[in-house]
Structure 1
Amino acid sequence: YLVHNGWWTRLMRQRTPEGYFAEAETLHTDLRQGQLPEEVRLDLERMLDHFGQYPILVRSSSLLEDGFGNAFAGKYESVFCVNQGSPEQRLAQLEAAIRQVFASTMSNDALVYRRQRGLEAREEPMALLLQRVSGRYHGRYYLPDCAGVGVSRNLFVWEPDLDPAAGMLRLVVGLGTRAVDRIEGDHARVVALDQPRRLPFRDANDPGQFSQRDVDVLDISDNRPRTLAVRELAPLAPDWPLAWCAELDREASERTRARGGAPVWRVTFAPLLERTAFGAVLQRMLRTLEAAYAYPVDIEFTAHLAADGTPTVSLVQCRPLQTLGPTQRVELPETVAEQRLFFATRGHFMGGNIDQPLSRVIRVDGGRYGALSRTQKFAVGRLVGHFNRALATRAECPTLLIGPGRWGSSTPELGVPIRFADINRMAVIAEVAEIGAGMTPDLSFGSHFFQDLVESGIAYVALFPQQPGHRYHPDWFERLPAASHIAAPADTDAEVAASVSVVDVRATGLRLSADVVQQRLLCYQPVEP
């Protein structure tokens, strides 16, 4: 493709230090508009004849992406082709998807990641995998019964009796896009395979709060991907085995029935996990693949459910998983005086045993952030990115980033909208449940965001100040001398700047320590400064 379009010289310029980003910007645009060689187009026509009008997924499959140690999770695109229309229209859609995946090799996020991993000088051949989408038709909609991601090592054991070697799933109904991405307003079902009934981040008083509400499907009539509410899709797809993936909320259903509404389903996957061999099949699959790779693995899968719930699982991707293993045992103090404590939690952290001295803290104030306009909230993300890029290396200035809701959400009302390239030099990121603002951390295990954290060695903490065992003192470092505070650039909007505090904490001795066995984590001063 590159040679056919006369871009090889430009690619060589892009591989130089001065052209790494500058040349990539124009290449990224042109790669989406080039011409495929005629012999390739003929092969694509034959492939479309073979598939017929079944939907197709165009997946990236690069040399570095599929190797050990560099999973590139989410850096390169995968594109759904609903594959409807005349043969000429279907070929045009497929070619556009191929060009889009090729162009993603020159995206800023991918370039930053490659440089961070010391791979900027390595050749990155991009192959493509064209897969028929696993699923079935429900009228105008096409979708698998359920889908998800699985990892053979559970590094987010939120209870001390969970077995990390048992593996974990992130499970959704419909297309698996909601399993690999942190979707605003929705939660995948996280399953610890040794104890599938155990629920993380679940408020016992509101069992539906952290469940999936929307489902991604392919709309055959409109020839595009689409998102529907579960309650919308259920009556339109009567043979969809929702009863194996969800439970009827009887109280809510009674209320809606009185108003002429449809039954209310809560996507919990409890019937599937408790009454079928689904969990055992996935656990056996993960163990088999890990043994074959001689390395922990990360998979994507879909499942077809028979009328009696019997699952047929399709493995659609497997790649090595970069894991954060536990270090030596960490000794935590039994008690810490409140004036020396920034925050503490039991469970809800990731990264194994941790003993990390901190040099800097970047904090986004939830109250002030919530009062900003939508434009200003995006500006907060850019400001965080500015401070991130100002860090030389993680080792030289280990930094804690803490803020409300979900880092990386595309909806600023649910958290600060950033790309991973905006936080890639942090040592620790923390997400805080800001109850009043409605911003809640999302368990990111198994998502692309999780993979970024794992591969980069960034520890993760979720704080729920209203829950037992969680303590949070957001005013802790505001009591430090003014000289410790680092100002935003002079041209920063005043309200945006006021919502982001950056403090040098080296003089305080602040450190983050965690014991994965006790499931305790502290961010504290070991001694008085």
Structure 2
Amino acid sequence: MVNVNDSLLSRLYLKDTAFQQLMQKRIFNVLLIATPYDAFMMEEDGRVEEQVYFEYVSLNLSSPPRFEKAANYAEAYEALARKSFDLIIAMPGVDVSETFREARKIDGMYPEIPFVVLTPFSKEVRRRIANEDLAGVDYVFSWLGNVDLILAIIKLIEDRMNAENDILEVGVQAIILIEDSIRFYSSVLPHLFKYLLKQSMEFSTEALNDHERMLRMRGRPKVLFARDYEEAMALYDKYGDHILGVISDVRFPVAGEKDPDAGIRFADHVREKCPYMPIIIESQESENKEKAESRGYVFLDKNSKTLPQDLRNAVGRHFGFGDFIVTDPSTGMEIMRIRDLKGLQTNVFNIPSDSLFYHCSSNDVSRWLYSRALFPIAEVVKTYRFTKMEEAPVVRKLLFECIVKYRRMKNRGVVAIFRKDRFDFYSNFARIGEGSLGGKGRGLAFIDQIIKRNPVCDDFQGVEIKIPRTVVLCTDMFDQFMEMNNLYPVALSSRPDDEILRHFLHARLPESLIGDFLALFDVIDKPIAVRSSSLLEDSHYQPFAGIYSTYMIPHLDDKKVRLRMLCDAVKSVYASVFFADSKAYMNATSNVIDQEKMAIILQEVVGDMHGEYYYPSFSGVGRSLNYYPINEEVAEDGVVEVAAGLGKYIVDGGLSLRFSPKHPDHVLQTSTVDLALRDTQTKLYALSQDTPESMDFKTDDGFNIVKVPVADAFKTGALKYLISTFDFQDRMIRDSAFGNGRRLVTFANVLRQKVYPLADAVDFMLSTGQYEMGRPVEIEFAGVINPDAMKSEHKGTLYWLQIRPIVDKKEMLDDSILDVDDNDLILRSESALGHGVMEGVRHVVYVKPKSFNSMRNPEVAKEIEQINKDFIDRNEPYILIGPGRWGSSDPALGVPVRWPQIAGARLIVESALPGYHIEPSQGTHFFQNLTSFGVGYFTVDPVHKKGFYDDTYLDSMPAVYESDTVRIVRFENPLVIAINGRKGRGIVRKA
């Protein structure tokens, strides 16, 4: 019995078909050589190009060819000299031999251009052609007055040109047609191609959007045409593993001589190699019927008036086209019909075991999948041979798992068109409407493509990396909503936010959305986040992140109530475009408010129910550049802020845990007991399931978000691997949730014990995102940790929620600003934290080096506290300079201030003095505050030539305040403060 497991399946086929690599060689320009009369008779009214164009359109084909006519060969040579052609079609005149002579001549001059002879047929023409040298001619066709023949000729030659790549490299299937009768194959080929092209239109409906549908049509089976035994054998030897079926005449040449049994011999050879290969035998000789049917071949009578219909039926029935018909192997009776892949997934467990075994063992299932261009699944099903009825459960498991994984893979990285009957549990990303996805929507679609290109995301050290199930309401829905409710006069007015929101809530959404929302509820069984995705949000050059609202609605059993809440949430996000803060921001960024368009993301909220609240195990934000590296960290290592619960906690400035994904073992906030007790999370954000049904939506999008104490969340088991315990008696922190003591959110088991590979996964997302975007990025994410992660191979799921470029204006720093001579500087540091240009600072507060005495440091702290209070009251930033470590608990090492005593400083500087050299702290005492408020931090040691500090210049300036220990200097013009956090360099330039 075949051993089928998930890892084997993912190894085998989780790779998409490269439809875009198919049909790379096309016929775009055709030269038609015919007398004006012949051309007119051929076209009836002189519009061959138009007829072929409409034929292409009706079959949904792209790139119809253009035709140029030449009345004789002199004109033909002129056309060939000035233009590149992909195909030449010639109609012989009175002198048939001229056509074949010129064909040989053109073949010598342009051997790469296929040459086709198209002629009205008669016995006389056939006799004359039989005596001609056909060396320069690829095919001779009989013109029967049907423009479908032109289409068939073009497609036949395109198939021949692309066969090697498309069949052998990509896996496209083929049909071998063997026929030497010009009259007959000229009749059969148009019918065959028309049927195959229409079938490709049908199976292309498996695609998720129009672009994908057009690409999938390239995966239709190719027609490989042979006119004698040797040509047929060469095709089978080369492409035999990719053949759907064979259509063969019985009598055709072998070694140049007509052989009355050539077709039967070829069919027998194929069946010997492949016992289940479908073979259709055609013949005008009735005695061949018994020969064919006795061998299990399908026989068609060429003399039949219904031959074209008979051929279509035979190909559809035996080559895997149309519905998959499940039959009873003992009676041949139909049991059920399966129309598409979703139908096979739904019914695979309902097919009787004997029928399933019969169809799989005879390759019927793989053939049906191949005919629909479902190559990845077909390959797996065909690879495994089932020889016993007892293997039916394995067959079911294999088929079902293949389809599930295939559908997930196909949905990933594709923005599908939302269809109520198609959106299901395996759908990933869909859009409603034809407008833009907006900034966040584009970001999510881009992430989905990144994930698709990196199969490691399916199992990243036991974690699946994915995006939540998402539907985007495109910007045209916003336009429709605004116009049908005439909302612009109210929206663009200066009315209060509450009044604007009230008007929006009373408006109607487009009726079509109601049915779509109800279909969405059938699939998403979790709370739904309704997120803004405006045209300007997350733009590469305009940082609009966080300007508009995000509402969350709980999962309620009552669909009517849930529908009302979802509709109100959508309207509320639309309204937030026109709130006062949004208008002010638009003005500040020189954008016009009525040019803003809003798409909306409807997305399942990551998380699980914990008691009465819903939230993820953790949420976080990562940046690929870290402007506050400490110890062995460097800026390019990136930085992550992570917290238990919903990510709004981090956005609102809560105490998140900060770490470098390259150095997860070294977390400053948990490096000492005091820091851990002071700087770790005490509450988390959660979505309340008890939102009253009658509650109105408010301008505050967090109205139904609650703060849950960590101690309460711990009791539900939600924080199992995120918690450490502070032992009061031993004054130590244990990386365990056992025992008595205060629970601390340290992520120790995740970051140090690697119960869940958070650091490695975020590092992967940051580095891959930066590579794909070509610039530093910021990402958002949330995750769910499996409660049994310590024992299970499946550690949980990590949801990648957003990606945006880091484009803050202050961070687009010109390095030349740092290249200043020391004579023009007050300060220069080679160990600087922060990044960007800080503006508007006119004051320098510094501890006087010449009168410094470490014994007086406690007094200095009190004096600095009062100075800081005065600056905060006046809302004026300042630079603070002092010897040793700011914030040290030991006064001998520096001024023992707490953060509130220096919170008004824009730049803090540690300086070394002769005889007073202390190892720099890099701001570790205030690190959480430095990073949260973007405060710069310099370490300067002129004594050891590590930086520059011109205290003499400051002493020469008049003081606005001076005591025995502290001095304040004010400059008329703002100082230039510039920091390159990537290189750790910073300066303060004289005004």
CA distance, structure 1, for counterparts of residue 603 and residue 642 of structure 2: 21
Residue 503 of structure 1 and its aligned partner are, at CA, apart by: 10
Residue 140 of structure 1 and its aligned partner are, at CA, apart by: 1.9
Change (3 A) 1:510 1:319: closer
Change (3 A) 1:415 1:95: farther
1:217 corresponds in structure 2 to 686
1:171 corresponds in structure 2 to 642
CA distance, structure 1, for counterparts of residue 564 and residue 606 of structure 2: 22
1:497 corresponds in structure 2 to none
Rg larger in structure = 2
Under a length normalisation based on structure 1, what TM-score does the superposition of the two structures give?
0.64
Show CA shifts across 1:133-168 (max 9, x none): 111122322221111111222233245x42322322
CA distance, structure 2, for counterparts of residue 462 and residue 82 of structure 1: 44
Change (3 A) 1:43 1:36: farther
1:194 corresponds, among 648, 662, 680, to: 662
Maintained 8 Å contact 2:607/2:616: yes
1:491 corresponds in structure 2 to none
CA distance, structure 1, for counterparts of residue 935 and residue 532 of structure 2: 28
Show CA shifts across 1:432-479 (max 9, x none): 9xxxxxx9774586xxx88xxxxxxxx643699xxxx9x9x9xx99x9
1:512 pairs with 2:977: yes
Residue 127 of structure 1 and its aligned partner are, at CA, apart by: 1.0
2:521 corresponds in structure 1 to 48
Residue 504 of structure 1 and its aligned partner are, at CA, apart by: 6.7
2:725 corresponds in structure 1 to 248
Show CA shifts across 1:493-517 (max 9, x none): xxxxxxxxx997226x744254647
> What is the identity, as a one-letter code, of the residue corresponding to 2:685?
D
> What is the identity, as a one-letter code, of the residue corresponding to 2:805?
P
2:548 corresponds, among 72, 76, 93, to: 76
2:534 corresponds in structure 1 to 62
CA distance, structure 1, for counterparts of residue 830 and residue 496 of structure 2: 43
1:411-426 residue pairs with structure 2 within 5 A?
none
1:287-306 residue pairs with structure 2 within 5 A?
287-306=767-786
Specify the SS of the correspondent of 1:100: helix
1:229 corresponds in structure 2 to 709
1:97 corresponds in structure 2 to 569
CA distance, structure 2, for counterparts of residue 358 and residue 225 of structure 1: 37
Q: Which runs of 5+ in 1 are unaligned?
A: 256-260, 372-376, 385-398, 404-413, 417-422, 433-438, 451-458, 483-501
Residue 415 of structure 1 and its aligned partner are, at CA, apart by: 8.0
Maintained 8 Å contact 1:137/1:143: yes
CA distance, structure 1, for counterparts of residue 603 and residue 536 of structure 2: 20
1:182 pairs with 2:653: yes
> What is the identity, as a one-letter code, of the residue corresponding to 1:134?
V
Show CA shifts across 1:367-409 (max 9, x none): 59979xxxxx9xx6xx85xxxxxxxxxxxxxx84789xxxxxx
Residue 286 of structure 1 and its aligned partner are, at CA, apart by: 1.8
Maintained 8 Å contact 2:644/2:719: no
Specify the SS of the correspondent of 1:94: helix
1:341-360 residue pairs with structure 2 within 5 A?
347-351=832-836, 360=842
Specify the SS of the correspondent of 1:2: helix
1:440-455 residue pairs with structure 2 within 5 A?
442-443=928-929
1:144 pairs with 2:616: yes
Residue 279 of structure 1 and its aligned partner are, at CA, apart by: 1.0
Residue 296 of structure 1 and its aligned partner are, at CA, apart by: 2.4
Change (3 A) 1:362 1:73: farther
Specify the SS of the correspondent of 1:207: helix
CA distance, structure 1, for counterparts of residue 819 and residue 490 of structure 2: 54
1:319 corresponds in structure 2 to 804
CA distance, structure 2, for counterparts of residue 40 and residue 362 of structure 1: 59
Specify the SS of the correspondent of 2:761: helix
> What is the identity, as a one-letter code, of the residue corresponding to 2:972?
R
Residue 480 of structure 1 and its aligned partner are, at CA, apart by: 6.1
CA distance, structure 1, for counterparts of residue 483 and residue 750 of structure 2: 50
Show CA shifts across 1:276-310 (max 9, x none): 23211111122222222223222211112232353
2:161 corresponds in structure 1 to none
Residue 231 of structure 1 and its aligned partner are, at CA, apart by: 1.0
CA distance, structure 1, for counterparts of residue 531 and residue 730 of structure 2: 40
1:206 corresponds in structure 2 to 674
CA distance, structure 1, for counterparts of residue 938 and residue 673 of structure 2: 18
Higher relative CO (Cα under 8 Å, sequence separation at least 6) belongs to 1
Greater fraction helix: 2
Maintained 8 Å contact 2:643/2:649: yes
Maintained 8 Å contact 1:345/1:522: no
CA distance, structure 2, for counterparts of residue 463 and residue 443 of structure 1: 15
2:936 corresponds in structure 1 to 461
2:512 corresponds in structure 1 to 39
Maintained 8 Å contact 2:728/2:741: no
2:753 corresponds, among 271, 275, 280, to: 275
CA distance, structure 1, for counterparts of residue 865 and residue 970 of structure 2: 20
Maintained 8 Å contact 2:627/2:981: no
CA distance, structure 2, for counterparts of residue 43 and residue 142 of structure 1: 25
Residue 182 of structure 1 and its aligned partner are, at CA, apart by: 0.8
> What is the identity, as a one-letter code, of the residue corresponding to 1:214?
K
Residue 210 of structure 1 and its aligned partner are, at CA, apart by: 0.9
Q: Which runs of 5+ in 2 are unaligned?
A: 1-480, 693-703, 733-738, 846-863, 881-898, 910-924, 940-945, 961-967
Change (3 A) 1:312 1:357: closer
Identity, in percent, stands at 20
Change (3 A) 1:66 1:350: closer
> What is the identity, as a one-letter code, of the residue corresponding to 1:179?
I
CA distance, structure 2, for counterparts of residue 245 and residue 334 of structure 1: 49
What's the C-alpha RMSD, in Å, of the aligned pairs?
4.8
Change (3 A) 1:156 1:322: farther
1:328 corresponds in structure 2 to 815
CA distance, structure 1, for counterparts of residue 722 and residue 545 of structure 2: 27
Maintained 8 Å contact 1:201/1:443: no
Maintained 8 Å contact 1:24/1:106: no
CA distance, structure 1, for counterparts of residue 843 and residue 503 of structure 2: 40
1:379-390 residue pairs with structure 2 within 5 A?
none
Residue 58 of structure 1 and its aligned partner are, at CA, apart by: 0.8
